[in-house]
Structure 1
Amino acid sequence: MSSTAPARPDRPEQPDRPERRTGSRFGPGLIIAASFIGPGTITTAIVTGAGFGFALAWTVVFSIVATIVLQEMAARLGIGAKIGLGEAMRRTFSTPVLRVLMALLVVAAIGVGGAAYAGGDTTGTALAVSTVVPIDTRIIVALIILAIFGLLITGSYKVVEKVLMVMVGILTVLFVVTAIVVRPPLLEMLQGMFVPTIPSGALLTAIALIGTTVVPYNVFLHANLVQENWGDVEEKRAIREARTDTVSSITLGGIITLAVMAVAFGSMFTKGLSAETGRDLAQALEPLLGSAAPWVFAVGLFCAGFTSALAGPLGAAYAITGVLGLSTDMRSWPFRAVWIGVLVIGAAIALTGIEPVSVIVIAQAANGLLLPIIAVFLLITMNNRRLLGRHANGVVSNVIGGIVTLVVIGLAVYQLADLAGLLPSDG
């Protein structure tokens, strides 16, 4: 059935071109993983492991599966239709009122969210550096902002990809090796990963773990990055490699999160210690790692913060320019204007002493409410055979995507009820 889908009038059919590899087999998926492994994810995993052990490890597994499902659809959209999600949404929702509402929603939620995360992640990165190097955090923030600006202004996907891949590699080595040194009980870890339980007082933490992994702007980001990496590769091969990249890279992100949780479990939960920050965990690891403990977590949090602070403005730029019908070319001035605006607001948050935690909480709440809407939009768009042809969703993709969407809708409803004070407090 899918092989006889009508031609897409939205863009002319392109003849098969000789394959000319312009990107690597891995890249876009690793950038998505780098985006969601930020200081918020690391801190939440530390607090969870120290407070609840492996009881909530299943939420990481669910988050990774949900992220893979949504990002695979985004990658297939980018390669199959050769447009980003924002542009695809504009073509799918042709009613002017729907277009305006959609644009306002994406610009407000993702623009504000990207700026808030850029500010919070930059501050978190600076604080990590200041724990081992006695430099004023404002100076560190300014240097980080300049470094991000310098990377993005190049307009080069390959430059951004290589920097983020190196930092994900550092994160993997640091936290996985530290988890091996701590030697957490694997059987208990596996039980927590595949037997869902929610201890008393842990529901909001469970939602936080999911919310720090399944990020709305990453769906926009991925649909464009796959075009940068596989734009001149034959479609079937590009989609096959994109799926491998998506599954392996996002799974690696989940392994890093679980490794952080395992380190907190082995060094704090088993000893009855609690944690609120990475510094608490570093102190708990000093008997094992000695003077290297602060450096391990300073470097780890720096990499996590820098990658997220870089991916936030980039994802916001792809989302906003796409829904507004502007150029999504990284070298175009509309694209640069968006990420510069997001980065400047993030810098203001970081440099003026505005409490980043409260801003990030607001951003997480906005993204949590936006996620089910984006997931529904993505599902509708992925069923547009006129746009996607044989790359449109099949039954299996729709069923799995529908389940993920229903879960995130349920989480959003719970979040709204909590914000409205309709839920009983934990006893």
Structure 2
Amino acid sequence: MPSPFKNIGPGPLIAAAFIGPGTVTVCTLAGVNFGYALLWALVLSIGATVILQEITGRIGLVTGQDLSQLIREQDGNPVFRYVAMSLVLLAIGLGNAAYESGNISGTNLGLQVFWEAPIFQTGSLEFHLGNLILGFLAFGMLWLGSYQKLERVLVALVIFMSLAFVLTAFLTQPDWNSLLGGLIPSPDSGQFTTIVALIGTTVVPYNLFLYASLAKNKWSGPKDIPWMRRDIAISIMLGGLVSMAILSVGASSESDSISNALDVSRGLESVFGSFAKYMMGFGLLAAGLTSSITAPLAAGLVICGILGKSQDIRSKAMRLAMGSIVGLGIIFSSLGLKPVQLITLAQLANGVLLPLISGWIIWIAAKPSVLGRYRNRLWQSLLAALIWLITLALGLKSILTVLGNF
């Protein structure tokens, strides 16, 4: 009897990618500051992510190409094509390097619960040994592993991370009436920034590229679209459940001063005792490690696709691209630097990229000349257009936030 998990593949990598230290922190602070009131925003973001990722997976299976390859080979004005290629390289390459720094630092924050890695002071610079070790661990797994091996490792980490956060959420005995009430939208102006952050940590531009590439390698063509849909729907919904559990943990915390997810453990000591910090520490460690692997993997696939190089994970081009992303992340995190300018530019580039790339894939998905009978129907295009308006709002908010910091 065939295993029901035989055709479950790249979806868990997408869940692993968006549940990183940033998501853990944003969801935690949303719970701390607003209780359960913003659970509806997470439900909205989960739905939007499933719809956009299904479109990219379908594009990959029908065309046999990922999004970066399609951008490179599209017909029309060559100036537009080169501008699009440059924008994608800037947003994904620069953005993922900045995110990798945060992923490695967040992983080390969880590691510190179990082992306080030494910090060496050199003049005005701090050398964080824990960040260096974790960065090399992530790169080692990328260097030695295949896609199949990475899937197994990441699925295992996602399962353990999910158990840590979901178990923690249940043991805090949440107020179920308030929790269910949080599923009903009731936004106010004071919540807008947090709402944008919650959606923005789930609807991630580089995941759109990542899933199209992995889906076309996992399955053999359009006949496997039903398997792809099950894969992405199950994975994203389970990932969303973890995000909701993290928000619930934040809402249950009694900590007086919270600046990151790990601070929540102090407010959970009445439930878990000293074990609270180990639960949160392990969850943050797993979340950071999974994102530390998927961010350079996605960047490598995009960079090689745009430049027309081999996307085999063991090819020289892929190893160079992934190594560059991890290397920059190690440099910034290990030396204790705060790459504010880099992160600011990454936010600006992704703020532009998200509505552009989501609008482009919606347009591609509606074209009979590209997807034939697998194209979006009218109701699917209307629903996708609504999602595009959300990504446009996210992009504008990111741009305005960046401009407001100058």
**Residue 208 (structure 1) aligned with residue 197 (structure 2):** yes
**What is the aligned partner in structure 2 of residue 51 from structure 1?**
33
**What is the aligned partner in structure 1 of residue 64 from structure 2?**
82
Letter aligned with residue 45 of structure 1: C
**What is the aligned partner in structure 2 of residue 14 from structure 1?**
none
- Does the 8 Å contact 1:50/1:274 carry over to 2? no
Give, in whole Å, the separation in 2 of the partners of 1:362 and 1:186: 41
1:290 to 254, 270, 273: 273
Letter aligned with residue 149 of structure 2: V
Letter aligned with residue 235 of structure 1: P
1:383 to 354, 362, 366: 366
- Does the 8 Å contact 1:124/1:305 carry over to 2? yes
Give, in whole Å, the separation in 2 of the partners of 1:362 and 1:48: 25
Give, in whole Å, the separation in 1 of the partners of 2:179 and 2:363: 37
Letter aligned with residue 117 of structure 1: Y
- Does the 8 Å contact 2:351/2:396 carry over to 1? no
The range that moved more, 393-402 or 352-361, is: 352-361
**What is the aligned partner in structure 1 of residue 169 from structure 2?**
179
**What is the aligned partner in structure 1 of residue 249 from structure 2?**
263
1:340 to 310, 313, 323: 323
- Does the 8 Å contact 1:46/1:275 carry over to 2? no
Give, in whole Å, the separation in 2 of the partners of 1:215 and 1:200: 24
Give, in whole Å, the separation in 2 of the partners of 1:250 and 1:361: 28
**Residue 67 (structure 1) aligned with residue 49 (structure 2):** yes
Give, in whole Å, the separation in 1 of the partners of 2:342 and 2:173: 36
Q: CA deviation at 1:356?
A: 5.8
**What is the aligned partner in structure 1 of residue 289 from structure 2?**
306
Cα distance change, pair 130–409 in 1 and its aligned pair in 2 (3 A) = same
Q: CA deviation at 1:413?
A: 2.3
- Does the 8 Å contact 2:69/2:306 carry over to 1? yes
**Residue 140 (structure 1) aligned with residue 133 (structure 2):** no
Q: CA deviation at 1:157?
A: 0.5
Q: CA deviation at 1:83?
A: 0.9
Q: CA deviation at 1:221?
A: 0.4
User: In the TM superposition, what whole-angstrom CA distance separates every residue of 1:48-83 from its partner, at most 9, and x where no partner exists?
Assistant: 101101111111111111110110011111111111
**Residue 367 (structure 1) aligned with residue 357 (structure 2):** no
Cα distance change, pair 91–389 in 1 and its aligned pair in 2 (3 A) = farther
Letter aligned with residue 395 of structure 1: L
Give, in whole Å, the separation in 2 of the partners of 1:164 and 1:374: 26
Cα distance change, pair 82–339 in 1 and its aligned pair in 2 (3 A) = same
Letter aligned with residue 44 of structure 1: V
Q: CA deviation at 1:228?
A: 2.6
Cα distance change, pair 360–46 in 1 and its aligned pair in 2 (3 A) = farther
List aligned pairs for 1:88-107, cutoff 5 A: 88-107=70-89
Equivalent pairs, count: 395
**Residue 153 (structure 1) aligned with residue 135 (structure 2):** no
- Does the 8 Å contact 1:51/1:275 carry over to 2? no
Give, in whole Å, the separation in 1 of the partners of 2:39 and 2:75: 38
- Does the 8 Å contact 1:55/1:199 carry over to 2? no
User: In the TM superposition, what whole-angstrom CA distance separates every residue of 1:302-325 from its partner, at most 9, and x where no partner exists?
Assistant: 110011111101111112222222
- Other structure's SS at 1:353 match: coil
Normalization by structure 1: what TM-score? Answer: 0.87
- Does the 8 Å contact 1:327/1:335 carry over to 2? yes
List aligned pairs for 1:212-291, cutoff 5 A: 212-231=201-220, 235-236=222-223, 238-268=224-254, 273=256, 275-291=258-274
Letter aligned with residue 380 of structure 1: W
- Other structure's SS at 2:314 match: coil
Question: Which 5+ residue runs of structure 2 have no aligned equivalent?
Answer: 120-127
After superposition, the CA RMSD in angstroms is 2.2
Q: CA deviation at 1:153?
A: 1.4
Q: CA deviation at 1:353?
A: 1.3
Letter aligned with residue 244 of structure 2: L
Question: Which 5+ residue runs of structure 1 have no aligned equivalent?
Answer: 1-19, 423-427
- Does the 8 Å contact 1:47/1:274 carry over to 2? no
User: In the TM superposition, what whole-angstrom CA distance separates every residue of 1:171-206 from its partner, at most 9, and x where no partner exists?
Assistant: 11111111110111222222212x222345221111
- Does the 8 Å contact 2:253/2:268 carry over to 1? yes
**What is the aligned partner in structure 2 of residue 399 from structure 1?**
382
Q: CA deviation at 1:215?
A: 0.5
Give, in whole Å, the separation in 1 of the partners of 2:118 and 2:326: 20
Give, in whole Å, the separation in 2 of the partners of 1:286 and 1:342: 38
Letter aligned with residue 55 of structure 1: A
Letter aligned with residue 294 of structure 1: K
- Other structure's SS at 1:202 match: helix
The range that moved more, 259-268 or 87-96, is: 87-96
- Does the 8 Å contact 1:182/1:263 carry over to 2? yes
Normalization by structure 2: what TM-score? Answer: 0.91
